Amino acid sequence: MITISQRGINMPSSPIRKLSSFAEAAKKEGVKVYHLNIGQPDIETPSVMMEAVHQASLKVLEYTDSAGILSFRKKLAQYYQSKNIDVDYEDILITIGGSEGILFAFMACLDVGDEIIVPEPFYANYIGFAMAAGIHIVPITSTIESGFALPPIASFKEKITTKTKGIFICNPNNPTGYVYSEKELLQIRDLIKEHDLYLFSDEAYTEFSYEGKVKSTLTLLGVEDRVIMIDTFSKKYSACGARIGALVTKNKLVIEAVMKFAQARLSPPTLEQIAAEAALNLPNNYFEETRKEYQHRREVLINRLQKMKGVYCPTPNGAFYVMAKLPVAHTDHFCQWLLTHFRYQNATLMLAPGSGFYTTPGLGNQEVRLAYVIHVEAINAAMDCLEQALLEYSIWSHS
C-alpha cells in the first residue's frame, strides 16, 4: 500500500490558514469575513514595482544568476549600508521569499539532528522549515504577562546541549510584535560567543517599529561570522505574492554553502527581482507614511481589545501583529466557531489560534494572533464582531 512519509504526517497545519475552508464556506453564504488571521497588508504595492515589470524590455524571460541579479544585490547592499549595516553585495543572496532563506540557512549551517533554541511563541512555519532540514526546535517560553520579552538568558543556558548549534530570533517578532532591546540583543550576542553558536535572525519587519529603530543583529560586534540575517520584500512593500527575500551574512563559508543550494534551485524569479529592485528607488518617506498608517491601526486595535471584558493584550512595539488572551478555554474551537456559527450584521472575523505558535503542549490555548493589516474602519467593524462574539460564545458554550 502506498503511504506518505512520517514527516508528512507530523507536519503541523498552519494556524494562520488551517481554517480557510470555513472562511470560504461563510463567504459563499454571503457573509463578510474580516481577515485578521494573516499578515496580508491591504496597502497598495508601490506602483514603481508594477511599472518596472511592465517596462522591462525582455524578449526572453531568462534565468538570473543563482545569487540574484547583480544590480539588485548592489542596490540592496546600499539600502543596508544606509541603515549602518556594513555589508556588500557579495554578502547577499536573493531567495524565493524569506522562507527559502531560512531553509537555506538551516541546511547550510546545521546537520540532521542538530538543535536550535527559539523563543516561543514563534512564526509557525519555522516548524516546517526545521522539519524539512531535519533539525529540532527547542523552545524557550516568553509570556504574555511580560509582553513577550526575551526570557532570562539563564533559561537558554539550561537548554544548551552538545546538539545545540544556534539561536533563532525574529525581530520585530511575529506573532507578538515585540521588539528586542539592545540590551537583550547583547545578551544573545554574549551567549552565542560563549557557546560557539550561530545566530539566525528573521528581520522581515524592521521598517515597522513604533518606539525607536530596530537594531539589526548584523551590527552586533564580535560575532559577524556567526550571524545569518533573513530579510524579505513581502511585508516592507506589501508585495507578499512576489516571493523575494534575502539571506545576508559576513560568513563567506556560509555564503559558499548556501550558493550550492541556490544553484540547485537554479534562480530566483526574474520579474519579481526587477520589481523588488525598483522598490529600492522609493524615497525614504515611503516607510514613514506606511509606518504611521500601521501605528494608527495598532492604536485603534489595541484600544478596542483592552476595553473588552476579560481580554488581556500587551501593546506591541513593532511589526503589525498582536497576541491577545481571550476569556475562552480553547481558541482553536472559538476561532472555528466564529466562522461556522457566529454572525453579526452578516459579518464575522477570522483569527489565528495561539496554540499553533507554540511547540510546548498546552500553551497558547487562550491566545490568538491578530494582524492589523486592514483599514481602520474594517478593524473597528471586526472588533464589533469580536466583542459581540465573546458575549454570545460564553452563553453558547455553557448552554
- Whether residues 125 and 87 fall in one domain: yes
- Whether residues 329 and 185 fall in one domain: no
Among candidate residues 220, 249, 279, the one where a domain is terminated? 279
In-domain check, residue 393 = yes
- Whether residues 313 and 388 fall in one domain: yes
In-domain check, residue 383 = yes
pLDDT of residue 399: 66
- Domain extent at residue 151: 47-279
Domain CATH code at residue 224: 3.40.640.10
- Whether residues 166 and 139 fall in one domain: yes
In-domain check, residue 130 = yes
In the chain, how many domains are there? 2
Among candidate residues 238, 253, 279, the one where a domain is terminated? 279
- Whether residues 224 and 292 fall in one domain: no
- Whether residues 243 and 94 fall in one domain: yes
In-domain check, residue 107 = yes
- Whether residues 359 and 219 fall in one domain: no
Instruction: Output the tens digit of pLDDT for each of the chain's 399 residues.
Output: 777 677 776 767 776 778 899 999 999 999 999 999 999 999 999 999 999 999 998 999 999 999 999 999 999 999 999 999 999 999 999 999 999 999 999 999 999 999 999 999 999 999 999 999 999 999 999 999 999 999 999 999 999 999 999 999 999 999 999 999 999 999 999 999 999 999 999 999 999 999 988 999 999 999 999 999 999 999 999 999 999 999 999 999 999 999 999 999 999 999 999 999 999 999 988 999 999 999 999 999 999 999 999 999 999 999 999 999 999 999 999 999 999 999 999 999 999 999 999 999 999 999 999 999 999 999 999 999 999 999 999 887 776
In-domain check, residue 260 = yes
Q: In three state form, how does the secondary structure of the chain look?
A: CCCCCHHHHHCCCCCCCCCHHHHHHHHHCCCEEEECCCCCCCCCCCHHHHHHHHHCCCCCCCCCCCCCCHHHHHHHHHHHHHCCCCCCHHHEEEECHHHHHHHHHHHHHCCCCCEEEEEECCCCHHHHHHHHHCCEEEEEECCHHHCCCCCCHHHHHHHCCCCEEEEEEECCCCCCCCCCCHHHHHHHHHHHHHHCCEEEEECCCCCCECCCCCCCHHHCCCCCCCEEEEEEHHHHCCCHHHCCEEEECCCHHHHHHHHHHHHHCCCCCHHHHHHHHHHCCCCCHHHHHHHHHHHHHHHHHHHHHHCCCCCECCCCCECCEEEEECCCCCHHHHHHHHHHCCCECCEEEECEEHHHHCCCCCCCCCEEEEECCCCHHHHHHHHHHHHHHHHHHHHHHHC
- Whether residues 301 and 271 fall in one domain: no
In-domain check, residue 1 = no
Domain CATH code at residue 32: 3.90.1150.10
- Whether residues 265 and 361 fall in one domain: no
Predicted confidence (pLDDT) per residue in 89-112, tens digit: 999 999 999 999 999 999 999 999
In-domain check, residue 117 = yes
Average pLDDT over the chain reads: 95
In-domain check, residue 54 = yes
Among candidate residues 250, 279, 308, the one where a domain is terminated? 279
Predicted confidence (pLDDT) per residue in 289-319, tens digit: 999 999 999 999 999 999 999 999 999 999 9
- Whether residues 98 and 188 fall in one domain: yes
- Whether residues 197 and 333 fall in one domain: no
pTM for this predicted structure: 0.95
- Whether residues 337 and 370 fall in one domain: yes
